[in-house]
Amino acid sequence: MERAALLRSLSCTSLASNRFYFRSFVPRAKFSSSSVAVARRNHHRLINNLTRRSLLRGASRLHLSLSSYSLQFNKHFSSLSPRAVASPSTPSSPEVAEVSNEVAEKLGFEKVLEEFIGECKSKAVLFKHKKTGAEVMSVSNDDENKVFGIVFRTPPKDSTGIPHILEHSVLCGSRKYPLKEPFVELLKGSLNTFLNAFTYPDRTCYPVASTNTKDFYNLVDVYLDAVFFPKCVEDFQTFQQEGWHFELDNPSEDITYKGVVFNEMKGVYSQPDNILGRAAQQALFPDNAYGVDSGGDPKVIPKLTFEEFKEFHRKYYHPSNARIWFYGDDDPNERLRILSEYLNMFEASSAPNESIVEKQKLFSEPVRIIEKYPAGDAGDIKKKNMVCLNWLLSDKPLDLETELALGFLDHLMLGTPASPLRKILLESGLGDAIVGGGIEDELLQPQFSIGLKNVSEDDIQKVEELIMDTLKKLADEGFDSDAVEASMNTIEFSLRENNTGSFPRGLSLMLRSMGKWIYDMNPFEPLKYEKPLMALKARLAEEGPKAVFSPLIEKYILNNPHCVTVEMQPDPEKASRDEAAEKEILAKVKSSMAKEDLAELARATEELRLKQETPDPPEALRSVPSLSLRDIPKEPIRVPTEVGDINGVKVLQHDLFTNDVLYTEVVFDMSSLKQELLPLIPLFCQSLKEMGTKDLSFVQLDQLIGRKTGGISVYPFTSSIHGKEDPCCCMVVRGKAMAGQAEDLFNLFNCVLQEVQLTDQQRFKQFVSQSKARMENRLRGSGHGIAAARMDAKLNTAGWISEQMGGVSYLEFLQALEEKVDQDWAGISSSLEEIRRSFLSREGCLINITADGKNLKNSERFVGKFLDMLPTNSPVERVKWKAHLPSANEAIVIPTQVNYVGKAANIFETGYKLNGSAYVISKHISNVWLWDRVRVSGGAYGGFCDFDSHSGVFSFLSYRDPNLLKTLDIYDGTVDFLRELEMDDDTLTKAIIGTIGDVDAYQLPDAKGYSSLLRHLLGITEEERQRRREEILSTSLKDFKEFADVLEAIKDRGVAVAVASPDDVDAANKERANLFEVKKAL
């Protein structure tokens, strides 16, 4: 189910979230869900097949999440961005090089502050560049994953999207690197562990990371040259490409809008949660920069002029307006030397005064707004309303202690399924899912938002009253002591574990620090959680939770008149009405143009397309610094793995330093499950975690898990196995705890698996409604994932299984199940028990543990006790799953302004034998052919391909795509692209190095242990990993040419699936008679 890059036979990425809007490849998470928090925050460049984890926003429901508790805490606790590393009681500074005052002075800097920060075991120095005033945070430690970032304060004055379009554009060539997109060249041939850029409502960030020092400084230089000396301010065509332009292929045709950001934001404005989030933010902040959309409103973007675009860069992209961050184990002297070469070229400017974000004054009375959103006409339209209450909490930034207390309060109210505000709203039956991000404090002033979606129009007032009554009750009665203890343990565990997944730790610290630094506050303070955390714990012990939290609820929410209620009403006609309005505007534009003007526009369109599709000259490509194959290790990264046995059950142990945390997976064989029960699996997993036992209510169980562990999750894992007919299909129970609480962790595993009673009909009904709402959200926001799952289901058994549990088939199952819960609860409850009986056995069980040697040894007796409690009966006989969806082309129709277009085939069925060169080739196709044709020329936000080397499925996919048939034609053109490809040695080397960068993706210890487990489950040996690596390193142009023959199978016999608008599907079926079978999903 998570098979894309994650399950490549050579590497596995870490945990993932969907906070970022990536730049060119989209993570293939099967259970992602967006939130309003994401919706109103950041816009990001799409980057290739690395799924990045955010510490400031909620993680997606990707089935690899370690803990719903810690993830929810991350979502709602952004102020602290809770991932600082544990600090010893008397921290000692690591041995790091220092910058003397003399060296700093010589390079043009002065030291402003210097401090050892125990929470992240780092020496931090704040420098100021004397000539320009640029501020630099230099953080030194022993972390090999080095991070650089440069951030500019960029408050917009309107919704034309200038900051966002500029963020895209500055990486399209610069003074030293005069090619079309140095960014893409870095993607192709770098060992980066992070490479992106993103736009906030008031700042623009350009971060990079790498574990290779030479590679790291290459990345830094390209980014510095890009932001200070971009070609885009002199190149109108870059502005057109990334922002917007009129497109006309032939004077007889209609004019259309094109532009990467324009189409990206069309996708954003097609999602109801995003529309709600933007409406709330703009209504909360009507008088400052947050009252407009820094990402750009598609209706306003075409008003932006090139002159305004250039002026914005001149005004704000200046060292005087920059905050610069370095982190890691590189030489701090070299950092300043690199910076001085750039900063010394500038004089001081007035930008810091002009970029100040003004505070929003508090309202004297509440405000109510009503917005429409594009909805499908399926189901009862009157039950698709959304309502959200939003408060601006303060007229000024809060101190760290208050932020910490509010974040803690937020977790208590909303952070887990058992949290009272979340629980009461969902149990009310007034709506299907929570909207609102809780506490949001990444901006100058903090906010709090909470509401429900899928609300009947008659119940809107009831939802508002329930929210207020519940908040009043919490203020009056306080919180249960077990709930407070569970939240405290969850928060403290998360802080000290410092697990950022594949998201670099240094970047999470940068973003946390920047939350204050960007507003001219102390950048050190957000990194130091220990003192305010101890103070909060002392207050709770001395005064009690009610005395701490009730005044916060009363002051910041109940007695706060700065409240905006946003009511969202479904409108089945809105999407077509917006489309008609855009066409009318464009028709007027065309009618106002003379024949000569139209001819000139057609010529300009062709000229832009020709530029986009013309490769950069070799000398320009050579200007981008890169590594050589000599810099690449010849062997893959090995994870220490000892295969043993406890009580007759196989145990994998990984001896790695984990800061005293024990990471554990228990894997059960699911292959004896009846086929018809597969769609119940996600709901079964949720039931295990969110129903009670004979002795514990689900709230008590949830709190017990929070008090004793770092979190427990249960999820299915499915993948094809290369060379085998039957797929791998497992149930995974995953958890983590401090080593001293290992016994508690395994006892809770047993409790969740064996003692939870699957009999709570009302809670199950809530799970169905929540899951349906999530799936509907995925259709709108992650249509590429839906299309990919659908194609997989047509091409292999593992894909079919996954789609039953997370695709359109699952949504259809949920829609039917809603009614069935009331009609046949006894039958459903019996089926849930049958699922449990089908896999719960010591037979076929596997244990995976990651910790240091001492803790591995100490945990063995608890593993043994856990295994002794498992049933010893053999599971039911193995079931043969051989189902596929029909192989016809399919269009899944939803109300949207953009499309998600896919085409795929199983290339193993053509006789292709797996070779490591396929990874290099597929990455090159994505970064060159599809990038240029689908994204740059076609205007889609992303275009990429993916090769699942386990099943043999090779897929093409696009993301937020204005086209449909044109994109399918581009996919079919890949064969000719490969056959006609000319590639010099430098280009080939870059392609190889970039692929190795993906294969050797940076991993924290828990991810290393988990990757090793997946390789074991899929039968991938160290010998095979070595062989694939050698094949990657020896890839030749001949391999590319030969692969063209392989891809003929997709061109000739591939299956196409599009998640698209009704109009575009109708047009496609008229142009190519009945190309798609049409399925209406919303």
- Which residues are catalytically annotated? 167, 242
Which two tokens mark 1056? 């196409």
Give the angle subtended at the CA of 18 by the CAs of 16 and 22, to the nearest 5°: 105
Q: Are 361 and 558 in contact (CB under 8 A)?
A: no
Which two tokens mark 745? 């962790």
Specify the amino acid at residue 141: N
Q: Are 896 and 783 in contact (CB under 8 A)?
A: yes
Tell me the CB-side half-sphere exposure of residue 926, using CA atoms within 13 A. Answer: 31
Tell me the CB-side half-sphere exposure of residue 260, using CA atoms within 13 A. Answer: 33
Give the three-class secondary structure for 145.
coil
Buried b (16+ CB within 10 A) or exposed e, 291-328: bbbbbbbbeebbebeeeebbebbebbbbbbbbbbbbbb
Residue with tokens 């090999």: 144
Q: Are 943 and 935 in contact (CB under 8 A)?
A: yes
3-state helix, strand, coil in the chain (%, to 5): 50, 15, 35
The kind and range of the H/E element at 629 are: none
Tell me the CB-side half-sphere exposure of residue 123, using CA atoms within 13 A. Answer: 16
Burial of 247 per CB tally in 10 Å (0-12, 13-18, 19+): buried
- β-pair partners for 890: 1057, 1077
Distance CA 988, CA 968 (A): 27
Distance CA 787, CA 806 (A): 11
Q: What is the CA radius of gyration of the chain?
A: 28
Q: Are 565 and 387 in contact (CB under 8 A)?
A: yes
Which two tokens mark 555? 């002051």
Alpha helix segments (H runs only) across 190-259: 213-228, 236-242
Would the CA dihedral through 1000, 1001, 1004, 1007 be positive or negative? Answer: negative
Q: How many helices (H) and strands (E) does the chain have?
A: 39, 28
- β-pair partners for 125: 114, 138
* Beta strands 203-210; 146-153: pairing state: antiparallel
Phi and psi (nearest 5°) for 206?
-130, 90
Distance CA 273, CA 373 (A): 9
Which two tokens mark 1079? 């399925």
Specify the amino acid at residue 95: E
Distance CA 1071, CA 276 (A): 36
Distance CA 318, CA 411 (A): 39
Find all residues with CB under 8 Å of 232, minimum gap 6, and list them.
166, 169, 170, 172, 173, 238, 239, 242, 309, 313
Burial of 399 per CB tally in 10 Å (0-12, 13-18, 19+): exposed
Q: How many CB atoms are located within 10 Å of the residue 699 CB? A: 20
